[in-house]
Amino acid sequence: MNLSPDGQQLLSFLQQGNKLTAMVAPSFPVDFKKNGLIGGLKKLGFDKVCDHSVAIAEVNKLYEELFEKEKGGIVIAANCPTSVNLIKTRFPDLVKYLPNIPAPIGVNGRLCKKLWPENLNIFIGPCIAKKNEAKSFPEVTLALTYKELKDIFAEKNINTDDFLNSDFAFDGPGQKGVEIFPASGGMKATLDIQHLGCRKIIVGDEIKNLIAMFSKLQTNQETGCLFYDILACPGGCIGGPGVVSAEVINARKQKLLDYTTEEGKKPLCSQVDTNGQS
Ligand code: SF4
């Protein structure tokens, strides 16, 4: 099988004896079962496998603090590099609404470096744009997609089904209740509403819908105390280009909710938010 350059780079890190930490994005249940994913990564040679939950909770806390501080302002979530680039290139007047808060990949990179300083951090997720974004965080060495990881597993004859009956846990600390974060509206669902005050939240996904929303904002057709919870892919990160699943978005979102239930946690929301609804 022809691996991507980043897939080959990962194997070369392992062959050179580097210790690696996998930072797994929260959308992983769309393509993997937890035990299969962790078992497969450990068999491949990863030293640690952690999820993004603590980083997501930390990022949400930073936004909540910002909402408290800027009670009347407009804030646009800066978690999605494609959305941020869209604003920078097509709506430069709106750049001022992007907060100086790192995306979860950066927060998690720092956390993992603190926990396992000698390890190289490898992000694994649904996103191609994060390959570039990762370069702005020195704690993140490489970003791979789920598709690339499946190719690497195939190349190394690793069958994740072999680990389904094992009982693996993510390394490092975890945070319950943020599993829905990668779906459209997931940030809104996981923020602590007591910090929102009268702030109206506008949820959006898919580039064409974001363009329509930002055009309204830029021409003052939308005003007030607003927070834009936006992701550029259809349905959010669960519709990212690095996802293997060909299922419809609602089926992918159901997998996130099933994972939440399997882990004994209560799903925070069950509906896919539609564009422009608060
Ligand atoms: S919505 Fe798409 S582009 Fe944005 S972070 Fe998620 S996978 Fe990446």
CA–centroid distance, residue 232 to ligand 1 (Å): 6
In one-letter notation, the amino acid at residue 163 is F
CA–centroid distance, residue 246 to ligand 1 (Å): 16
Residue nearest to atom 4 of ligand 1 (CA): 80
Specify the pairing of strand 120-125 against strand 142-145.
parallel
CA–centroid distance, residue 183 to ligand 1 (Å): 10
CA–centroid distance, residue 237 to ligand 1 (Å): 5
* Each residue's pLDDT expressed in tens, for the chain with a length of 278 residues: 789 999 999 999 999 999 999 999 999 999 999 999 999 999 999 999 999 999 999 999 999 999 998 888 899 999 999 999 999 999 999 999 999 999 999 999 999 999 999 999 999 999 999 999 999 999 999 999 999 999 999 999 999 999 999 999 999 998 888 999 999 999 999 998 888 888 899 999 999 999 999 999 999 998 899 999 999 999 999 999 999 999 999 999 999 999 988 776 544 444 434 565 54
The string of DSSP codes covering 110-139 is: HHHHHHSTTSEEEEEES-SHHHHHGGG-TT
3 state DSSP class of 105: helix
Mutate to test the pocket of ligand 1, among 27, 76, 80 (most ligand atoms within 8 A of CB): 80
Residue nearest to atom 8 of ligand 1 (CA): 127
For the CA of 240, the nearest atom of ligand 1: 7
The reported pLDDT for the residue numbered 23 is 98
The reported pLDDT for the residue numbered 276 is 58
**C-beta separation of 145 from 130 below 8 A:** no
The reported pLDDT for the residue numbered 253 is 94
Ligand 1 neighbours, Cβ below 6 Å, are 80, 82, 126-127, 129-130, 231-233, 236-237, 240
CA–centroid distance, residue 38 to ligand 1 (Å): 23
For the CA of 241, the nearest atom of ligand 1: 7
SS3 readout for 182-249: CECCHHHHHCCHHHCCCCEEEEEECHHHHHHHHHHHHCCCCCCCEEEEEECCCCEHHHCCCCCCCCCH
CA-wise closest residue to 124 among 190, 182, 176, 207: 182
